[in-house]
Structure 1
């Protein structure tokens, strides 16, 4: 029961180890999964006075929630037009407002709990690797008009003044978005749940779920929890506990690397503390950490977990291709993680059956979406709102199993080819 060796693990502020569940216990709500979705759900329920037990198979933040890029910005992994086609225009607008609320929720939680170890830093830039300023301006205008959400448009010269790369053309800077140390954030939320009376058990793999009775029962190897409500907040590491959840997601691997300390070299390429993401599907995302001493760079996806060292070489090629002046920058550490994707590329949030809830498929959506999912499920359990129903059009569709993984890989290759065609020299 250990974290993978990541930058976040090496800079962890809280080393607390929590004991496995042992023996029978009862509570109001049992939460399975100690990532951002499960912890947010448990936090909101504990704040409302519920007795909560959270079971985590490994350690708090072990999965993608604790080893991602740390971006907190609104929006979803799929485009607004596709969301509107599935849910309707009005619901698509409400969903986007929820994603903005998710950003504010994470920011406010950091303030309320004084999570200085999360190291929040304002500013995220989305950049184009092809000339598309008119389309980008139209997108910014729509967000300002429909959501009163301003973005700063950056022309090529403005962008290249801070990102010294010939690969970039235009960009949008979101001053309201920010980036954080996600694992320290999660660990601080866990501490707050326990302060409020919640119980968290690590190393507690749920091996059986009995959900048909009014009182739900979750069993581990040496323990058992009985509760009126059960929440399943698993992701890319979802096991066979609830078959419908396992069948509804595709586990997709993504990769991150960390550079050596080289502040002067890095500043010569990336002269900003903003996090950066490009417009390609499964494109590059990166940010400076440790006050500019190191560069954290992520990207690439595979349908089978590959060696982080091998994928780091691919990430490095991307980095040097974007910033040739970083060719001498050495990689010190690389890691991978499994994200959960749904076939429709939206989160899956809802009620499995009376008293049994699910939150999954957050791959590519960002920390804000995972957090707001936990909030709306807690609201539903507390009978405060039915906002979770906004996600009803994006249900637990079968992801296709091995065939789905093969299709995802073919789709990724197709998107890579489209990116190449769009970015080709003209």
Structure 2
């Protein structure tokens, strides 16, 4: 059984500590949502706003998994690139999907504004940085995206990059001024509060152990509770259990790591001179940002198919941080943690209807803050017969993850990316 508390920057700075009761007895609902991460909470809120009777079951705490302990980056796009989406879905559908990812950013932004979530601490700007000279390719790509999709992108040449990021590693960057970073746990808890205020029944420590999904009314069991609903939504991410085997077989749990530095404003701001978050362009590269008013660094990176925590998480991430910014060699780590993301082999979210009344909304690894908002929204629209936009994700279905061979392939692919990144950097020196 997973622990019920993870010591992270977000848990330490959570604005509220409300809890929700375990599910008990016989419960009737229009929709039962399994998973209290951002996808499940977004769906619950939209359904509750429409007057549906919603029950949400969370095995741990609201936003306990990747939803509440990630980097906090909110920007358009998916874990895979537009070209890969085009190859599978065609150019027109790929563009629709990309615009939907942009809508996901706006869903999060509007929720923060409409619900007055001040403690989400939204900060504008995410910079994608390169450790090599793209020889005009980065600038051209950003111009295309700005022209075609209206993204607020600004190209930063080497001189400007090195004024903002005092590192010998970086050559150029693109600043997305429409993107932002924030406190995801406070955001998730605010969604839960509003959904509950509107009548949704939220239950923590209520792990689903069995489900009968073949009848018109679906029946789920969680402890001594029995929930009957017309629709069931599985939004369980990297911690998905075996209740729906088709879902369990369709994603790979991938671990990533994050550290929080000690409070050292002069040292921190002597290396990073921007409030924008930074995303390393390398595949599975670093992502980091200043927090606590610029006094600390929250630094994430590395991925692995190993789902147990290595003993030296902090040391591994710190080595990467110091290799990027040598002047931070004296900066200490205060806490480090890990979390499981769910990745499909095609690197796209898995969103759709498995059978009548049974929905899935998962595999957001690598780009979850906007795509969880998209997933929860389009599934709720499908349940309410408002739209069939969830069908846009049909080309990215519940394909088999490859089992142990799939995990090995992912790890080998990651290592090959690391080797390719290192070779590209070497050529740019």
Q: TM-score range by the shorter chain?
A: over 0.9
Please state how far the C-alpha of 1:16 moved relative to its aligned partner. Answer: 1.0
Does the CA-based 8 Å contact 1:159-1:170 persist in structure 2? yes
- Residue 144 (structure 1) aligns with: 146
- Gaps in structure 1 of 5+ consecutive residues: none
Matches of 2:299 and 2:135, distance apart in 1 = 25
Counterpart CA distance in 2 for 1:366 and 1:45 is: 21
Tell me which residue corresponds to 1:170: 172
Structure 2 gaps of 5+ residues are none
- Residue in structure 1 matched with residue 345 of structure 2 by the alignment: 343
Q: Does the CA contact (< 8 Å) of 1:351 and 1:358 recur in 2?
A: yes
2:418 is aligned to: 416
**TM-score for both structures, normalised by structure 1:** 0.99
User: How do 1:263-412 and structure 2 match up within 5 A?
Assistant: 263-307=265-309, 309-412=311-414
Per the alignment, in what secondary structure is the counterpart of residue 176 of structure 1? strand
Which residue matches 1:28? 30
Between the aligned partners of 2:398 and 2:100, the Cα distance in structure 1 is: 20
For the Cα contact (< 8 Å) 1:216–1:230, is it kept in 2? yes
The 5-angstrom pairing of residues 121-200 of structure 1 reads 121-200=123-202
Partner of 2:40: 38
Q: CA deviation at 1:117?
A: 0.9
- How far off is 1:142 after superposition? 1.1
Runs of 4+ that moved beyond 3 A: 306-309
Q: Distance in 1 between matches of 2:58 and 2:327?
A: 43
Shift of 1:3: 2.4
Q: For residues 418 and 339 of structure 2, what CA distance do their matches in structure 1 show?
A: 21
SS in 2 for 1:152: strand
Match of 1:223 in 2: 225
Contact 1:133 1:170 in 2 (8 A): no
Q: What is the aligned length? A: 426
What residue in structure 2 maps to residue 211 of structure 1?
213
Deviation at 1:366, TM superposition (A): 3.0
Query: TM-score normalized by structure 2?
Result: 0.98
After superposition, give the CA deviation of every residue in 1:40-72 in whole Å (9 maximum; x if it has no partner).
Answer: 000100011111000000000111001000000
**1:138: how far off?**
1.4
Listed one character per residue, the Cα deviations across residues 224-271 of structure 1 (whole Å, up to 9, x for unaligned) are 110111100011101001000000010000000000000000000001
1:14 to 1, 8, 16: 16
Q: Distance in 2 between matches of 1:382 and 1:141?
A: 38
Contact 1:341 1:361 in 2 (8 A): yes
Answering whether residue 282 of structure 2 is matched by residue 261 of structure 1, we say: no
Query: Residue 424 of structure 1: SS of its match in structure 2?
Result: helix
Matched position secondary structure for 1:248: coil
CA contact (8 A) 1:308 1:334 kept: no
**SS of the residue aligned with 1:334?**
strand
Quick one: distance in 1 between partners of 2:364 and 2:76? 13
Q: Partners in 1 of 2:290 and 2:310 — Cα distance?
A: 20
String of CA shifts for 1:374-402, please: whole Å, max 9, x gaps: 00110111111111111000000000111
Shift in Å, 1:209: 1.3
State the alpha-carbon separation in 2 of the partners of residues 58 and 344 from structure 1. Answer: 28
Question: Secondary structure of the equivalent of 2:136?
Answer: helix
Deviations along 1:10-62, one digit per CA (max 9) or x if unpaired, are 11111111111001110110000000000000010001111100000000011
Shift of 1:118: 0.6
Measured after TM superposition, the shift of residue 306 of structure 1 is 4.5
Q: Distance in 2 between matches of 1:192 and 1:309?
A: 39
Between 357-366 and 328-337, the greater mean CA deviation after superposition = 357-366
Q: CA deviation at 1:313?
A: 1.1
Distance of 1:354 and 1:309 partners within structure 2: 45
